[in-house]
Amino acid sequence: MNQKTDFLFKVLNVLSWGIFIGLCIESGGLIVNAFVSIFINPVASSKFWGGLNLYDLYKFNQNYFIAIVTLMIIVSVLKSILFYWIVNLFHKKKLNLSSPFNNTLGRYIFKLSYMVFGIGLFTYCLNQFSHSLKIKSNGLFFPSIQNIKFEDADVWIFMGVILLIFAMIFKKGIEIQTENDLTV
C-alpha cells in the first residue's frame, strides 16, 4: 500500500471514530431525555435532546410522544451500530487491500447495506408518522422534520440499495478470484 493510500485510510479511521462517538452521544442523550420525560418529569420534554421542544406533543398524547421518541432512538442507535461496524472494520484489520476480494469483507459490505437500508426504513416511518401526526393534531406545535434532523429517508434507502449493488458485485469478484486461485 502506498503512502498516500495509507494516510487516507488513517484519516478515514479518525473520521469514523469521531462520527461514531458523536452518534453514541446523540443516542445516549435521546435515551436519557426519553427516560426522564416519560418516568420522572414530563416538562423535561420541553428541552429535549438537540433543542427540541416536544412538550406539546407529550401533553397532546403521551403514546404519540413515546412512538416518535422511540423511532428517533431506533434510528440513532442504528446509525451508531453502523459506524461501530465501520470502526471495527478498521480496528480489527479486516480490510486487506492486498487481497480485497475476501469473504469477510464481502459479508461486511452486505451487513452494512442491510443496516443502511434499515436506517432508511425507520427514518421513513418516523417521517410518515410525524406527518400523519401533524394532520391529526390541528394547531399542535410540533417541530418540523428538519428540526428533528431525521429527514433523509430517501438518501439512506438510496445508499442502502447502492451498497447492496456493490455487495453483489463484490460477491461476484470473490467468486472470480476463487476460481482464478483454484486454476493456478
Contacts of 46 (CB under 8 A, 6+ apart): 53, 54, 55
Residue given cell 401533553 in the structure block: 59
Phi (first) and psi of residue 48, to 5 degrees? -75, 170
Contacts of 113 (CB under 8 A, 6+ apart): 160, 161, 163, 164, 166, 167
Section 47-67 average pLDDT: 83
- pLDDT given for residue 27 in this prediction: 93
pTM of the model: 0.85
Contacts of 134 (CB under 8 A, 6+ apart): 140, 142
Which tens digit of pLDDT belongs to each residue from 65-104? 899 899 999 999 999 999 999 898 877 766 666 677 778 8
The pLDDT confidence band at residue 137, using thresholds 50, 70 and 90, is: low
What cell was used for 29? 442523550
User: Residue 9, class by beta-carbon neighbours within 10 Å (0-12 exposed, 13-18 middle, 19+ buried)?
Assistant: middle
